[in-house]
């Protein structure tokens, strides 16, 4: 797995402090762990980083357990990757 540079996440030059920028309840949807508004491979990457203890920025653990087994681990990253490429269309 290739890790992306931090600048990738901040390419517009603004730090998307998720709680400030998005605010309120529309931050959360299953799988969207960075509050970007969509579920993509970045979310899978962030879960992988979280899983190995890297504490990624703007991480929303409440959105990360996409297989609903009660824990956040590499399986959740894989499930998001499957969702991203269209193998599955919904989470648990
Ligand atoms: Ca996202
Ligand atoms: Ca899980």
Question: Mind listing the pLDDT tens digit for each residue in 1-57?
Answer: 556 555 555 444 455 544 444 444 444 599 999 999 999 999 999 999 999 999 999
The superfamily in CATH containing domain 39-92 is Dockerin domain (1.10.1330.10)
* Ligand nearest the Cα atom of residue 56: 1
Q: Cβ contacts of residue 28 below 8 Å, gap of 6+?
A: 35, 60, 62, 63
Q: What is the pLDDT of residue 3?
A: 60
Quote the CA–CA distance of 1 and 39 in Å, as a whole number: 18
| CB neighbour list of residue 56: distance below 8 Å, 6 or more residues apart | 34, 46, 49, 50
pTM: 0.70
Q: How far is the CA of 77 from the centre of ligand 2 (A)?
A: 9
8 A C-beta contact, residue 5 and residue 28: no
Instruction: Determine the pLDDT at residue 67.
Output: 97
All structural domains of the chain with their residue ranges: 39-92
């Amino acid at each position: 797995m290739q890790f992306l540079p931090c600048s990738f996440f901040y390419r517009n030059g603004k730090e998307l402090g998720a709680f400030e920028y998005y605010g309120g309840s529309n931050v959360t949807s299953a799988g969207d762990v960075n509050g970007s508004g969509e579920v993509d491979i970045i979310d899978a990457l962030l879960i992988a980083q979280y899983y190995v203890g890297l504490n990624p920025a703007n991480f929303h653990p409440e959105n990360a357990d996409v297989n609903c087994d009660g824990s956040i681990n590499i399986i959740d990253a894989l499930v998001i990757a499957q969702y991203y490429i269209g193998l599955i269309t919904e989470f648990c």
